[in-house]
Amino acid sequence: MLNLQKIEAGYGESMVVRNVNLQVKPGQIVCLLGRNGVGKSTLLKSIMGLIKPKFGSIYFNERNITSFPTDRRAKSGIGYVPQGREIFPQLTVEENLLLGLEAATDGRKKTPDSLFDTFPVLRQMLHRKGGDLSGGQQQQLAIARALALGPTLLLLDEPMEGIQPSIVMEIEAFIESIKRNREIAVLLVEQSLEFATNIADYYYVLDRGKIAAEGRTDHLNEEQVRKHLTV
Ligand SMILES: Nc1ncnc2c1ncn2[C@@H]1O[C@H](COP(=O)(O)OP(=O)(O)OP(=O)(O)O)[C@@H](O)[C@H]1O
Ligand SMILES: [Mg+2]
């Protein structure tokens, strides 16, 4: 479903991501591991079209989307939850969710009710400003916003980072439910090897912009992977 071929990406003259080949199959949970600053977020931004790869191709459902603008990628079924959430603090929860529907071509103006079944707290806080929510609630809002268009692939950039344990558990339960239904594939950036190996089907380890290891999580060699994760 998602197929990255020889992706090179960076900022200005500096190359951050080098020769990355990566695949996500329908319904699969794939984890992208790696130390701080190795290029994980940069890779997700290239998939979403927020930065333009300097080389390589991105295929989504067999279509070459390398030159698609971001909204067209969203429309074709890719949901994105950026690192640090990036919700709009001055807008209400409801307005933030409606922004998730912005790319809809069919003029949809209503947030799907299922989002509130996933994260009930958002219904209670519908008219509250995004900025007044706790970090964890903002993360739930960012995920719900990414789900609004009904994506078939969800990109999650460190969704557990800096979040209170109770909400970490809710987000884990949400990812587990996605895994059970197998209707949405997930590319998850995560620092915790333990969580990644528990939930993901497949993993990639990025080290200084390159894929240093990959494989099925049930065959994961922890020693080999940790080598690329410890500072
Ligand atoms: N907008 C930018 N302009 C210039 N350099 C950037 C920009 N964003 C990131 N970088 C640099 O690119 C490199 C990779 O950053 P990136 O955010 O992709 O890493 P990461 O693996 O997501 O790290 P973390 O785990 O800390 O989130 C870093 O050296 C970073 O300083
Ligand atoms: Mg990052």
Residues in the ligand 1 pocket, defined by CB under 6 Å: 11, 16, 34, 36-42, 83
> Mean pLDDT in each 10-residue stretch from start to end of the chain (231 residues)?
97 95 97 96 97 97 96 94 94 93 76 88 95 94 94 96 91 93 95 88 96 94 89 76
What is the pLDDT, as a whole number, of residue 231?
A: 76
What is the pLDDT, as a whole number, of residue 114?
A: 86
Q: Which two tokens stand for residue 89?
A: 């603090």
Indicate if the alpha-carbon torsion angle 18, 151, 26, 140 is positive or negative. positive
| Size of the chain in residues | 231
> What CA–CA distance (Å, rounded) separates 131 from 108?
25
Residue 74 gets which letter from DSSP? H
Q: How far is the CA of 49 from the centre of ligand 2 (A)?
A: 16
What is the pLDDT, as a whole number, of residue 34?
A: 95
What is the pLDDT, as a whole number, of residue 196?
A: 86
Contact 85, 142 (CB under 8 A): yes
- Going by CA atoms, what residue is nearest to atom 3 of ligand 1? 11
Q: How far is the CA of 14 from the centre of ligand 2 (A)?
A: 17
Beta bridge partners of 203: 31, 215
> What CA–CA distance (Å, rounded) separates 171 from 69?
29
In the block, residue with structure tokens 């931004």: 45
Q: Which amino acid is at 142?
A: A
Beta bridge partners of 81: 156
> What CA–CA distance (Å, rounded) separates 181 from 192?
24
Q: Between β-strands 63-64 and 14-24, what pairing exists: parallel, antiparallel or unpaired? A: unpaired
In the block, residue with structure tokens 């528990």: 198
What is the pLDDT, as a whole number, of residue 192?
A: 85
> What CA–CA distance (Å, rounded) separates 162 from 182?
28
Q: pTM of the predicted model, to two decimals?
A: 0.95
Give the residue, out of 35, 40, 86, 230, with the most ligand 1 atoms within 8 A of its beta carbon, to mutate for a pocket test: 40
Protein residues within 5 Å, CB atom, of ion ligand 2: 40-41, 83
> What CA–CA distance (Å, rounded) separates 10 from 15?
4
